[in-house]
Amino acid sequence: GAVVSQHPSRVICKSGTSVKIECRSLDFQATTMFWYRQFPKQSLMLMATSNEGSKATYEQGVEKDKFLINHASLTLSTLTVTSAHPEDSSFYICSAPRKTERRLANYGYTFGSGTRLTVV
Amino acid sequence: AQSVAQPEDQVNVAEGNPLTVKCTYSVSGNPYLFWYVQYPNRGLQFLLKYITGDNLVKGSYGFEAEFNKSQTSFHLKKPSALVSDSALYFCAVDDYKLSFGAGTTVTVRA
Which residue has better confidence, B19 or A54? B19
Q: Provide the 8-state DSSP code for A104.
A: S
A41, B41: Cβ pair inside 8 Å?
A: no
CA distance A40 to chain B (A): 9
Instruction: Give the per-residue pLDDT at A68.
Output: 96
Q: Is B12 helix (H, G, I), strand (E, B) or coil?
A: strand
Chain B residues close to A101, C-beta within 8 Å? none
Instruction: Give the per-residue pLDDT at A105.
Output: 67
B98, A34: Cβ pair inside 8 Å?
A: yes
- Give the residue among A41, A117, A53, A109 at the shortest CA–CA distance from B45: A109
pLDDT tens for residues A70-100? 998 999 999 999 999 999 999 999 999 987 7
Instruction: Give the per-residue pLDDT at B101.
Output: 95
What is the pLDDT confidence band of residue A107, given thresholds at 50, 70 and 90? Answer: confident
- Give the residue among A105, A46, A61 at the shortest CA–CA distance from B3: A46
Which residue has better confidence, A118 or A31? A118
Instruction: Give the per-residue pLDDT at A85.
Output: 96
Instruction: Give the per-residue pLDDT at A109.
Output: 92
> A119: left (phi > 0), else alpha (psi -120 to 50), else beta?
beta
Average pLDDT taken over every residue of chain A: 92
> Taking residues A24-43, what's their average pLDDT?
90
Q: Is the pLDDT of residue A53 over 90?
A: no
pLDDT tens for residues B60-106? 999 999 999 999 999 999 999 999 999 999 999 998 889 999 999 99
CB A79 within 8 A of CB A35: yes
CA distance A17 to chain B (A): 23
H-only helix segments in B49-99: none
Structural domains in chain B, CATH included, are: 3-109 (2.60.40.10)
> Taking residues B16-43, what's their average pLDDT?
93
Which residue has better confidence, A27 or B84? B84
- The share of chain B scoring above pLDDT 90, in percent, equals 83
